Amino acid sequence: MKILLVEDELTSRMTLNSFLNPFGEVDIAVNGNKAIIAIKKALENNKPYELIFLDIIIPELDGITTLKKIRQLETQHGVNDYAKSKVIMISANIDKDIILKAARAGCTSYMIKPIDKTRLYNEIRKHGFNVPE
């Protein structure tokens, strides 16, 4: 599985990366612009990300703006709705307006930090990916 983790906070990034590594290739971006560059390159190489974990509060482009750009890039590259990356927003923010904005922008789901391994694996499983017990 090809995964992109977009997280600027070092501890969260290291923890999530350690949880995700058993699933395959995990690329990391520390801000919205770097995430867009990685996604564009993946789409151009016809090797799109299957799963993207995207923090809401990140430098340069916030998570919701980044998500909108991800969905625009997928559309520009002819990716149909079924084949689009599963984007799981991650945030400590439980503001319902923010969660609604993320949903409207096209996120697949939303997880509240802190995220432990069991919750993460259950979320991944919920989106149809194989997760070891």
CA distance 64 to 54: 9
The answer to whether 4 and 29 have CB atoms below 8 angstroms apart is yes
- Assess if residue 23 is contained within a domain: yes
Looking up residue 69, the CATH number of its domain turns out to be 3.40.50.2300
Which structural domain, as residue segments, surrounds residue 119? 2-126
* 70 domain residue, yes or no: yes
Number of helices (H) and strands (E) in the chain: give both, helices first: 5, 5
Q: Is residue 106 domain-resident?
A: yes
Pairwise CA distance, residues 101 & 29, whole Å: 22
**C-alpha of 22 from chain center:** 17
Is residue 13 a contact partner of residue 28, using CB atoms and an 8 Å limit? yes
Task: Specify if 131 maps to a domain.
Answer: no
Number of domains in the chain: 1
CA distance 58 to 7: 7
Bridge partners (DSSP) of residue 52 are 4, 87
83 domain residue, yes or no: yes
- Within a domain: 132: no
Q: What is the pLDDT of residues 54-82, one digit of tens each?
A: 999 999 999 999 999 999 999 999 999 88
Token look-up 């770097």 returns 34
Which amino acid is located at 60 in the chain?
E
- Record the pTM: 0.94
Query: pLDDT for 76-116, tens place per residue?
Result: 999 998 899 999 999 998 889 999 999 999 999 999 999 99
Within a domain: 98: yes
